[in-house]
Amino acid sequence: MAKFKTSGSKDLARHDADFLIGLYRDMLLTRVTDDRIEALYKQGKLVAGCYSSRGQEGCSIGSTAALRPGDVIGPMIRNLGSLLRHGLPVTMVLRNYLGRATAPTKGRDGTSHFGSLDHGIIGPISMLGALIPVCAGAALAFRMRGEPRVAMTWIGDGGSNVGDFHEGLNFAGVLRLPFVLVLENNKYAYSTPIEYQTAAKDFACRAQGYGIEGDAVDGNDVLAVYQVVKEAVDRARAGGGPTLIEADTMRMRGHAIHDDAKYVPRGLFELWEKRDPILLFRDRLRKAGLLDKARDEAIVAEVRARVDEATEDALAQPLPDPAGETGEVYA
């Protein structure tokens, strides 16, 4: 069984306070945005699916924080935090969820199913695993042009059983591409638990089969995620090839909002609730004297104000006009 790396007080002391507070703030921003999407759905303002990343904010924020501007990410449906941390304004996410004409997909696709090359984001498709070869291809472009850039994407315990996982990692491995894959082991693929997904005891060990580096981290320890991913990103940038990182976490909602997740055994949510990545990190910052009550309240208020403002902006955007829809199927 993989040993999931954690971070301790010495690690906390190695980073400057603004950076650490930033990790906390961005996880909070993810949570508040997620909650807002859920609220908009319940108000009937938002149609189709809502895919919550509740409980997995540490994975998205910690990993994306390890990147530089110019690096490219391919976020999956539960990487809302990665979109925001990589510089995408909250309103653009909400506009897309709300199907507005000024959204990144102009209402042609929903949820966080979009990319923005200006922000270094390659959007996902619903077929899991497809982003792995595609992001490896982005890394290939960096290699060909001699650019010191890295491409990173994510997958789940379920998605890691799709053929593209194998093809993409093997391809990245044989070419030693500057590529990082974070596997969020969130215990469920829709309703299917990991023991029905694979007979293997852990996911990080799969790296061995591709001759690449593998690592495992406590996905609810945002600082540990940052450190482990940073090491992989630095290695990739230096020409050391790709890394597969398993992040141990838990999906705290159903697959999408319609799913009450009754199939999750009683007590498992309660167990993981105690390991909430945001609350855990807030407590550590408090205990380390980096965050007092007043600062914390100010951050919460600032984050709420940002999401309120973004919601107002997104709701004010025009709906798409089918009469003016040209399709833009071709470039």
Partner 1 sequence: MSEITYIQAITEAMREEMRRDPSVFCIGEDIGTYGGAFRATAGFLEEFGRPRILDTPLSESAILGASIGAALMGLRPVAEMQFADFVTNGFNMLVNFAAKLHYRWGAKVPMVVRLPSGGGTRGGPFHATNPEAWFTRVPGLKVVCPATVHDAKGLLAAAIRDDNPVLFFEHKYLYRRLKDESPGEGHVVPLGKARLARAGSQVSLVTYGSMAYHGTIVAEEMAREGVDVEVLDLRSLVPLDEEAILATVRKTHRVVICHEDTKTGGFGGEIAARIAELAFDQLDAPVLRVAAKDTPVPHAPQLEDAFLPQPRDIRSALLRVIGV
Among 132, 182, 222, 290, binds partner 1 (CB under 8 A): 132
How big is the CA angle at 121 (ends 24 and 215), to the nearest 5 degrees?
60
Q: Is 38 in the site for partner 1 (CB under 8 A)?
A: no
Sole window of 82-90, 110-118, 251-259, 303-311 interacting with partner 1 (rule: CB under 8 A): 110-118
Sole window of 16-24, 82-90, 103-111, 273-281 interacting with partner 1 (rule: CB under 8 A): 103-111
**251 catalytic, yes or no?**
yes
Nearer CB in complex with partner 1: 43/126: 126
Q: Is 154 in the site for partner 1 (CB under 8 A)?
A: no
Distance of CA 7 to the CA centre of its chain: 20
**176 catalytic, yes or no?**
no
Set 251, 253, 284, 306: catalytic member: 251
| Region 161-200 residues binding partner 1, contact defined as CB under 8 A | 163-164, 167-168, 170-171, 174-175
Among 32, 61, 72, 83, binds partner 1 (CB under 8 A): 72
- Active site positions, annotated: 251, 255, 263
Give residues in contact with partner 1 (CB under 8 A).
Answer: 72, 104-105, 108-109, 113-117, 122-123, 125-127, 130, 132-144, 151, 163-164, 167-168, 170-171, 174-175, 327-331
